[in-house]
Amino acid sequence: MARVTGNASNNRLSGTNQNDQLFGLEGDDVLIGSLGSDLLDGGLGFNTADYSGLSAQITLRPTGILEKAGLGTDQLVKVQRIIGSNNFNIIDASSVSNGSTRLDVNLVQGSVSVQNVPGVGSINLSVANFNWVIGTTSGDRLVGGNFSDLLRGIGGNDTIAGGGRDDILIGDGGNDVVLGQAGNDRLLGSDNTTGGRNEVDVVSGGGGSDTFVLGSRNGSFFVGGGSADYEQIQDFSAGERFELGINQTYQVQRTSDGFDLFAIRSGVRDLVADVTTTSFINLPQGNFTITASQGRGIFQPSNSF
């Protein structure tokens, strides 16, 4: 174990592969993350915790805890900037949700703001090399960056927007707005956790050929509420696709600006999605069923549905 202490200058401090304590004191310091469970205390100034040389995926929690995938758990104190390792690193606020905790992340700008963290208050951080964000049970705002990101809202009425690559965006519970933007994105207003019950989500693919996920091997999302819960898809076009519920029977009905997708349950139609199309789509006649042989329930139109 090493105890490394800086001075009033701008220091660059590193420890050992044991459980170390790094103290920056004054100045704008860089504290190097390494193996072991370490304390990184920047002290005064604008301080950086740098994990770019670490081989493991890291998970940052708003309480200042940073987990290193089995290589140790660090406590960050008075650190304003975190540089992730060369991995798919995670910002996870799900464990600090208390109903009022809110997360605002913009990976393009490299900014993280967390409001009302229990026992801490509000936190503002600068980050780099993070691609996976897990929100809170309140309404979060999550914006992706210039790489392929995974953004998940958990609960609350979230706004989630992808970046310039192929992203996975998941609203989870609440009435969410999910915006794919550029890239070939995988878009979920809901998922298996909530199944879309009592939700009305708004989903837009933006550019690229996107996949709109409306079900899983467990069945269709947005069933059980009739027309009270559904996904509003704003820009479906030929070449894009749905993933629907396995062993679920569906029906479509043309509307003035696209079509409605219904799940058929005990002979009764249950609205799953209100779809606005940006190109002409030929619709199937009558009922159709997604079978287990169709794998993940892929349903893809070109100029025909």
Which of the four pLDDT bands, split at 50, 70 and 90, describes residue 164?
confident
Q: At residue 209, does pLDDT exceed 80?
A: yes
Tell me if the pTM is above 0.85: yes
Q: Are 135 and 108 in the same domain?
A: yes
Are the CB atoms for 229 and 198 separated by under 8 Å? yes
Mean pLDDT for 236-240 is 90
Q: Are 23 and 44 in the same domain?
A: yes
Q: Are 49 and 127 in the same domain?
A: no
Q: At residue 305, does pLDDT exceed 50?
A: no
Q: Are 207 and 269 in the same domain?
A: yes
Which of the four pLDDT bands, split at 50, 70 and 90, describes residue 297?
low
Residue type, position 58, single letter: I
Predicted confidence (pLDDT) per residue in 263-291, tens digit? 999 999 999 999 999 988 888 888 988 87
The residue among 52, 84, 116 that closes a domain is: 84
The residue among 84, 104, 130 that closes a domain is: 84
Residue 250: which domain range? 85-299
Q: What percentage of the chain has pLDDT greater than the value 90?
A: 83
Mean pLDDT for 46-70 is 96
Q: Are 42 and 171 in the same domain?
A: no
Work out the angle at residue 37's Cα, subtended by the Cα atoms of residues 33 and 40, and round it to the nearest 5 degrees.
50
Domain count, the chain: 2
Domain annotation covers residue 304: no
Q: Are 38 and 177 in the same domain?
A: no
3-state secondary structure the chain: CCEEECCCCCCEEECCCCCCEEECCCCCCEEECCCCCCEEECCCCCCEEECCCCCCCCEECCCCEEECCCCCEEEEECCCEEECCCCCEEEECHHHCCCCCEEEEECCCCEEEEEEECCCEEEEEEEECEEEEECCCCCCEEECCCCCCEEECCCCCCEEECCCCCCEEECCCCCCEEECCCCCCEEECCCCCCCCCCCEEEEECCCCCCEEECEECCEECCCCCCCCCEEEEEEECCCCEEECCCCEEEEEEEECCEEEEEEEECCEEEEEEEEEECCCCECCCCCEEECHHHCCCEECCCCEC
- Distance separating alpha carbons of residues 129 and 90, to the nearest angstrom: 9
Q: Are 276 and 171 in the same domain?
A: yes
Query: Across the chain, what does the average pLDDT equal?
Result: 93
Q: Which of 32-41, 187-196, 243-252 has the highest mean pLDDT?
A: 32-41
Q: At residue 239, does pLDDT exceed 90?
A: no
Predicted confidence (pLDDT) per residue in 189-199, tens digit? 998 888 999 99
Are the CB atoms for 127 and 60 separated by under 8 Å? yes
Q: Are 43 and 103 in the same domain?
A: no
Domain annotation covers residue 48: yes
Per-residue confidence (pLDDT) for residue 29, from 0 to 100: 98
The residue among 84, 106, 129 that closes a domain is: 84
Predicted confidence (pLDDT) per residue in 119-140, tens digit? 888 999 999 999 999 999 999 9
Q: Are 138 and 3 in the same domain?
A: no
Residue found under tokens 């159709």: 288
